[in-house]
Amino acid sequence: MQYLNRFVAARFPGASTLAQVAGGIPVTNVLPAMVADGFLVAGDAVHQSDPLTAGHHQRQHGGLFAAQVAIRAIRQGDTSACFLRRYEQM
Ligand SMILES: Cc1cc2nc3c(=O)[nH]c(=O)nc-3n(C[C@H](O)[C@H](O)[C@H](O)COP(=O)(O)OP(=O)(O)OC[C@H]3O[C@@H](n4cnc5c(N)ncnc54)[C@H](O)[C@@H]3O)c2cc1C
């Protein structure tokens, strides 16, 4: 935050900061296990993010694939981890 404040002060003298928001995002690779029996997870919880780009597209794909597999699992009456692993493969 200090680097950003210095940069803004140097580039935009006279500008005022209205608000600051800070937080963390996962920086490791996507977790290898994203499902269990009757359970699947998408998004930051399974590290579907990219520290350089924040990974908006990865999370969207993760959510899309999770939903597609969940719909098929419910329609076929099989929400076992074995079936849900299709999501991990996607
Ligand atoms: C400061 C900051 C800036 C960012 N900027 C960008 C950006 O510019 N572009 C970008 O693509 N990404 C950005 N990100 C990353 C992005 O915000 C996250 O990767 C994204 O929001 C993750 O979405 P998610 O749905 O996986 O998790 P979250 O958005 O964290 O959603 C999880 C939800 O689950 C809820 N929850 C937690 N525990 C429980 C529980 N036990 N029961 C019920 N609910 C629960 C939480 O309250 C939360 O609402 C930024 C992140 C931060 C911190």
Walk along the chain (90 residues) and give the pLDDT tens digit of each residue. 889 889 999 999 998 888 888 888 887 888 889 999 999 999 889 988 877 776 678 888 999 999 999 999 999 999 999 999 999 999
CB atoms within 10 A of CB 62: 25
Residue nearest to atom 14 of ligand 1 (CA): 54
Query: Which atom of ligand 1 is least distant from the CA of 21?
Result: 1
pLDDT for res 82? 98
pLDDT for res 12? 94
* Type and span of the H or E element at 82: helix 81-89
Phi and psi, residue 40, nearest 5°:
-145, 155
Choice from 39, 49, 52 to test ligand 1 binding pocket (greatest atom count within 8 A of CB): 49
Say which residues have a Cβ less than 8 Å from residue 17's Cβ, sequence separation at least 6.
Answer: 5, 8
Under 8 Å between Cβ of 63 and 42? yes
In terms of C-beta density within 10 A (0-12 exposed, 13-18 middle, 19 or more buried), how is residue 83 classed? middle
3-class secondary-structure state, position 3: helix
Global pTM reads 0.80
In short, whether 52's Cβ falls inside 6 Å of ligand 1 is: no
In short, whether 56's Cβ falls inside 6 Å of ligand 1 is: yes
